[in-house]
Amino acid sequence: MEIDVTANASPVFPVRAAMEPGDGVFTAFSWALRRDLRLALRSRAELGVQILFYIIVVALFPLSMSPDKELLLLLGPGVLWVAALLASLLSLSRLFASDYADGTLEQMALSPLPLPALILGKISAHWLTTGLPVVLLAPLLSIQYYLEAEAIWILMAGLLIGTPVLSLLGAIGAALTLGLRSGGGSLLALLVLPLYIPVLIFGAGAVDAVRSGMGADANFSLLTAGLLLALAGAPFATSAAVRISLD
């Protein structure tokens, strides 16, 4: 199967494509991933806003609190996780919006390629452009909270496991709110934020568990279980939500 991955300002998904025996899930996933990455790299201003938002939120907390080292050590992991959650939420409304507006999403739903694989490719691109920068910036931003090297590594590991869950769960909410003319962003936040609470608790709690000497194995196990469940279910739930929104 030959698919043109050259993305213009409003790339159109090829509905009619000659399917070959080797085509399927991987073809759909890789096409959607490469396409959305190209579009994201062409919208560097939006990416910069999301990253700058994360940096500003994390940097403002120490300025608004006491400079006490113990207080900053206590609040640092939670602040970094909340900022990561808000940065992910900020970009969710645009995950399907442009494709829905120009008809590309409908073509994806009608194409012979599996829609869950296409959706997973789009979610993966969303995480690579929003979640991964958060993980990479965490060590630098942790310095102002006086986190030790071990705590920083634990924080990064937790974000590396937890931020994909944020993208996967957020995609369901983004699909459910497609087509809403007003209040879509508020409804999206109401739908998604309760689902984010367990990820926030176990992710931020991993650092506290290590500092108290209990170890972060339990937190990481729960985060990994959540990631596996989200990987198994979120693409199908999102696909169902997309089809409902298109009807």
What are the tens digits of pLDDT across the range 129-173? Answer: 999 999 999 999 998 888 888 899 999 999 999 999 999 999 999
What are the tens digits of pLDDT across the range 182-204? Answer: 556 778 888 899 999 999 999 99
* pLDDT tier, 8 (very low <50, low <70, confident <90, very high otherwise): very low
Taken in order 219, 196, 132, 225, the sign of the CA dihedral is positive
Residue 176: Cβ-neighbour burial (10 angstroms; 0-12, 13-18, 19+): buried
Contact in structure between 160 and 80 (CB atoms under 8 Å): no
What are the tens digits of pLDDT across the range 10-37? Answer: 444 444 443 443 458 888 999 999 999 9
Angle at 208 between CA 205 and CA 213, to 5 degrees: 125
pLDDT of 66 = 74
DSSP secondary structure, 130-155, as one string: IIHHHHHHHHHHHGGGT--HHHHHHH
The whole-angstrom separation of Cα 103 and Cα 236 is 20
- Lowest pLDDT segment from 4-18, 30-44, 200-214: 4-18
* pLDDT tier, 181 (very low <50, low <70, confident <90, very high otherwise): low
pTM over 0.85? The answer is: yes
pLDDT of 42 = 84
The whole-angstrom separation of Cα 114 and Cα 5 is 17
In the predicted structure, residue 110 carries a pLDDT above the cut 80: yes
pLDDT of 9 = 40
Give the mean model confidence (pLDDT) for residues 60-76: 83
pLDDT of 75 = 87
* pLDDT tier, 119 (very low <50, low <70, confident <90, very high otherwise): very high
Radius of gyration of the chain (CA): 19
